[in-house]
Amino acid sequence: MRAEIVSVGTELLLGQIVDTNAAKLGQELSALGIAVYRRTTVGDNHDRLLTALRAAIADNDIVITIGGLGPTMDDITRDVLAEAMGDTLHRDEKIAHRLEAFFRARGIQMVESNLNQAMVPTHGRPLDNPNGTAPGLLFEKDRKIGIALPGPPSEFIPMVENHVVPYLRSKTGTTTIRSRVLRICNMGESLVEHSIKDLMLGSNPTVAPYAKTGEVHLRVSAKADDPETADRMVEERVRQIVERLGEHVYGFDDEPMEVAVVRLLTERLLTVATAESCTGGMVAARITDVAGSSQVFPGGVVSYSNAAKSDLLAVPAALVDAHGAVSPEVAGAMANGARNRFGSDFGIGITGIAGPDGGTPEKPVGLVYIAVASTRGVRVEKSVFLGRRADVRYRSAQLALVMLRDAILDRDKLTGVN
């Protein structure tokens, strides 16, 4: 089966929001073995949306729209999808009553337009939305499937997982595409490709490389009549690549570096604490984004001021005076300070100039020192990252996590643990 995703909203075309929903839906469809050959984005305009939907319905078995189900005047997806599917809408009194009760319970006066959200397909049914007022719509007409979902991710994501995926699973045939992503650090894209060139030949499984900020991803996909066979084909190729690239492979699928690091620490009963200046808490925020991180992360300090560096991290004021706050010496002292303060096995210290101001010829914007402290001492790396403030900060946080991983693996080699 083949599907097209149609995202609706002028704010998407104007770039005022980023379409994370379409990515989520793409993941789920490909996991079901449903091919997505095209994704289209159009604005809140009747004629252009109708044209896009008609083309999508003609070329595909399934069309899924995202957005445009709200209560306001520019929310037109409900009506236009019905028109493109050749179907009509009618008011569902149960949904209308639920809407009225929703507004009454909150003491808000219901506006007439809110009742648009009670309109449902004649050939199809509404899809329950427990996190918002707009139900989704499912059309089944002339052997085509049309699905309309609301745009807010907190409503969209549960509806995809709880309604769309189970429904489509019941409709798909037996061909399955399965894929995994290998995540690789400390190695560039060309070198990765060069190292596994022979493993990238052939059309089933396929191996495709993607350059990311500070890492490289390899997607391995296989097609088979049943998921077990497809999985086996993927796993065999993944095993060959891991054998070739060794510890450069730090993780899989949608698990970023912080997940790998928290897992390594958890398995070894080790802990890390952070002392961040230019990254301002980003490393701590990434570590604590991982469920269960409280076992490995007692805490951190964001020491933006020099006073905070000396008060909370015991970085000697004389060290800052002698070398400047952005120096390898201060980065190392911050890492040690975090390690001592929180009694952790590892300490991370980051100090740099994220910009846009504050650079000098000797210490330009983008200069960052990152230190990792452990029982073996401190390793400090100097980097000059190109890009804007957000880029410098992101790359710094990423490198700090990679260096922490290196330190954990180095410790394994010394202690014989693996």
193 sits near a copy of itself (criterion: CB under 8 A): yes
CA distances from 255 to 142, 221, 260 (A): 41, 18, 7
Q: Binding segment for a copy of itself among 137-145, 235-243, 259-267, 389-397 (CB under 8 A)?
A: 389-397
Written as six digits, the tokens of 403 are 């260096």
Could you tell me how many residues of this chain bind a copy of itself (CB under 8 A)?
103
b vs e for 327-351, b when ≥16 Cβ sit within 10 Å of the residue's Cβ? bbbbbbbbbbbbbebbebbbbbbbb
Beta partners for residue 178, in sequence order: 222
What is the CB neighbour count within 10 angstroms for residue 399?
Answer: 19
Distance CA(72)–CA(127), nearest Å, equals 20
139 sits near a copy of itself (criterion: CB under 8 A): no
Judged by CB under 8 A, the chain residues 299 through 328 that form the site for a copy of itself are: 299-305, 307-308, 311-312
240 sits near a copy of itself (criterion: CB under 8 A): no
Q: How far is the CB of 288 from a copy of itself (least distance, A)?
A: 3
Closer of 73 and 105 to a copy of itself (Cβ): 73
Q: Which of 40, 129, 336, 351 binds a copy of itself (CB under 8 A)?
A: 40
101 sits near a copy of itself (criterion: CB under 8 A): no
Judged by CB under 8 A, the chain residues 335 through 354 that form the site for a copy of itself are: 341-343
267 sits near a copy of itself (criterion: CB under 8 A): no
Q: How far is the CB of 375 from a copy of itself (least distance, A)?
A: 20
Q: Quick one: which of 37, 41, 57, 38 has its CA closest to 8?
A: 41
The continuous run of DSSP H or E covering 392 comes out as helix 389-415
Closer of 12 and 371 to a copy of itself (Cβ): 12
Closer of 213 and 415 to a copy of itself (Cβ): 213
SS3 of 282, please?
A: helix
116 sits near a copy of itself (criterion: CB under 8 A): no
Closer of 121 and 313 to a copy of itself (Cβ): 313
Quickly list DSSP for 102-141.
Answer: HHHHTT-PPPGGGGGGGEEESSEEEE--TTSS--EEEEEE
360 sits near a copy of itself (criterion: CB under 8 A): no
269 sits near a copy of itself (criterion: CB under 8 A): no
Site track for a copy of itself across 147-186, x = CB under 8 A: -----xxx------------------------x-x-----
Closer of 72 and 88 to a copy of itself (Cβ): 72
Closer of 281 and 316 to a copy of itself (Cβ): 281
SS3 of 34, please?
A: coil
Closer of 1 and 312 to a copy of itself (Cβ): 312
The continuous run of DSSP H or E covering 11 comes out as helix 10-13
Q: Binding segment for a copy of itself among 80-88, 91-99, 228-236, 280-288 (CB under 8 A)?
A: 280-288
Q: How far is the CB of 34 from a copy of itself (least distance, A)?
A: 11
User: ω before 121 within 30° of 0 (cis)?
Assistant: no
Q: Which of 73, 269, 318, 414 binds a copy of itself (CB under 8 A)?
A: 73
SS3 of 339, please?
A: helix
Give the full edge-to-edge strand order of the sheet including 367-374: 272-276, 346-352, 367-374, 377-384
SS3 of 238, please?
A: helix
